[in-house]
Structure 1
Amino acid sequence: MEGISRFFCFMAIGALLFLSSCAQKKDIVYYQNIDQFSREGSSITFEPKLQPDDLLMIIVSAENPEVAAPFNLYAVTIQNTAETAASQPRLQTYLVDSNGEISFPVIGNIKLGGLTRSEAMTKLKGLLGNYIKNPTVNMRILNYKVTVQGEVVRPGTYPIQSERITLPEALSLAGDLTVYGKRNNILVIREMEGKVTTTRIDLTNPDFINTQFYYLKQNDVVYVEPNKTKVNSSVIGPNITVAISAISLLITIVALTTR
């Protein structure tokens, strides 16, 4: 009888340790051994390239505003449904089509897909030089966004104003990973030249800083996979604390009966 009691006691202790076990430090800490990482720093530069479905705001200006006027889209007035709210003007935008082109006033179709923003502005200035002396071009991507899913505090789609964001910054926008997020297997889904690519990133290894996925591109999707602890707790169910309490009680009963 005593041997059976000990057996159940050991089984209960093992189950309790399994249910309440904590992740190891190596599974949680970011940028491990970064002090041994290259002390020269990263030399990666990043500027997003224009791609289909991008919405662009392009403003052309010159010394004589009347000369530049035909090359700017007219602002449209958006009617607000609220009775007390006034109508607000909004600049029209250029949509990059599936061929990477925009339809530009006077000039016609211009291919900008695959160019960086600075390259696109340089190309536009060259074309406008045939019509305007010393034109100035200002361009912005208005629908730059990234999506963060999975084991983060606030999953969702986040608009980016600066047109430049790193993977750690995007995760921070989403409130960082939960304790159940797998730090060494972050999935980045990216569309490049009409093809969807997937890459796995290990946040515990600082080497990812020197890869092309340190900076995110517009419309990137970041997915944080749940670790084994979350998967196991999902299988066991939400009442895991009740199970732990029951096992603790069982250990107490077994201990008392073996005296």
Structure 2
Amino acid sequence: MRYNSLIRILTFIIFFSGIFGCAKRNLVYFSDIETGSSYSTNISQVEEPVIQSGDLIKIVVSTQSPESNLLFNSGVISNDSQNRMMNQQLPTNEGYLVDKNGQINFPVLGKIEIAGFTREEATIKMTELLEEYVKDPIINIQYLNFKITVIGEVANPNTFTLATDRISILEALGLAGDMTQYGKRENVLLIRDQDGVRKAVRLNLNDKSILNSPYFMLQQNDVLYVEPDKIKSVQASTNQRSLTILSILVSFGVSLMFNLRYILSE
């Protein structure tokens, strides 16, 4: 009788060990960098984001001619513009939407294809085009709707619109309030649309090699998905199967209590 009771207890312990053993999770980023040590790596060539259809970009033109500045930054020159030019800040456009053909409609120049260009390449192209009308133009191009999305097991899942086109995975997670304790740091999913192709990449943030990954820096419209671990999935489940498992565990617990009482009484 005592032998059978011990077998039941051992079975119960092994069962629970299997459940909670699967719940172990490494919550430390770059955990393979040893405490007190240093790590350095050459930064791989960062793939610059390119302008895409649907992007909203701001283009500011500066020249030696106040009249040209007003024309290219607003597209309209009023009759009293010369009286206002020297006395107030020149108006600037609110942004150019890149249409489905990858073009913007710019004052004087008309339709300009700009999709597929990086900001630097677009700046060079705009400068060359404007040099036919004004001397030594200075072009400044910025994204107005550069955005990334972070969802899943983070404190603040959201879509974030940024004033810069340079943001790393860690900065994006910081905006989202970091991962919760249930987030799989070793299996973060990055979804990216590029050149008409949508691809998904799994990234391990426990591994220091991510610092040299071409995916460490995010691009326009990237989506980060932090997957929950199995324990969170079990907690979130309210179906009949979960209730059945729970009842089995309760039965094991009751059986364990009676068996322990029996053993101790002998």
TM-score of the superposition, structure 2-length normalised?
A: 0.79
Q: Which amino acid aligns with 2:27?
A: I
**Residue 230 of structure 2 aligns with which residue?**
228
Contact in 2 for aligned 1:183/1:204 (Cα 8 Å): yes
> CA offsets per residue over residues 165-184 of structure 1, 9 Å max, x none?
01121112212222222222
Q: What's the CA shift string for 1:80-132, capped at 9, x where partnerless?
A: xxxxxxxxx99432111222211111101111111111221121111111111
Q: Is the 8 A contact 1:149 1:222 kept in 2?
A: yes
Correspondence for 1:63: 64
Task: Report what 2:51 is aligned to.
Answer: 50
Partner of 2:80: none
Query: Is it true that 1:206 corresponds to 2:208 in the alignment?
Result: yes
Q: Name the counterpart of 1:79.
A: none
Larger Rg: 2
CA distance in 2, matches of 1:49, 1:114: 5
Give the Å deviation of 1:7: 3.2
Provide the C-alpha distance between the structure 2 equivalents of 1:242 and 1:59, rounded to a whole number of angstroms. Answer: 67
For the pair 1:116 / 2:121, whether they are aligned, the reply is no
Structure with the larger RCO, 1 or 2 (CA within 8 Å, 6+ apart): 1
Aligned ranges 1:123-162 → 2 under 5 Å:
123-162=125-164
Are 1:164 and 2:169 an aligned pair? no
What is the one-letter code of the residue matched to 1:255? L
Is this contact kept in 1: 2:173–2:179, CA < 8 A?
Answer: yes
Q: Which residue of 2 aligns with 1:195?
A: 197
Aligned CA distance change for structure 1 residues 71 and 159 (closer, same or farther; 3 Å):
same
Counterpart CA distance in 1 for 2:255 and 2:67 is 86
Measure the CA separation in 1 of the matches of 2:93 and 2:248: 60
Return the alpha-carbon distance in structure 2 between the equivalents of residues 156 and 40 of structure 1: 31
Q: Which runs of no fewer than 5 residues in structure 2 stay unpaired?
A: 77-90
Q: Distance in 1 between matches of 2:4 and 2:112?
A: 82
Normalising by structure 1, what TM-score?
0.80
Match of 2:258 in 1: 253
CA RMSD of aligned residues (A): 3.1
Give the length in aligned residue pairs.
Answer: 245
Separation in structure 1 between the aligned mates of residue 93 and residue 111 of structure 2, nearest angstrom: 19
1:192 aligned partner, one-letter code: Q
- Decide whether aligned partners of structure 1 residues 233 and 14 sit closer, same or farther in structure 2, where only a CA change above 3 A counts: farther
- Distance in 2, Cα, partners of 1:158 & 1:244: 43
Deviation at 1:32, TM superposition (A): 3.3
- Whole-angstrom distance in 1 between the partners of 2:73 and 2:159: 31
In structure 1, C-alpha distance between the alignment counterparts of 2:7 and 2:230, rounded to whole Å = 27
Match of 2:6 in 1: 6
Whether the 8 Å contact between 2:44 and 2:214 is mirrored in structure 1 is no
Q: For the Cα contact (< 8 Å) 2:50–2:117, is it kept in 1?
A: yes
2:174 & 2:247 partners in 1: Cα distance?
33
What letter is aligned with 1:32?
Answer: S
In 2, the alpha carbon distance for the partners of 1:14 and 1:174 equals 38
- Residues 37, 206 of structure 1: 8 Å contact kept: no
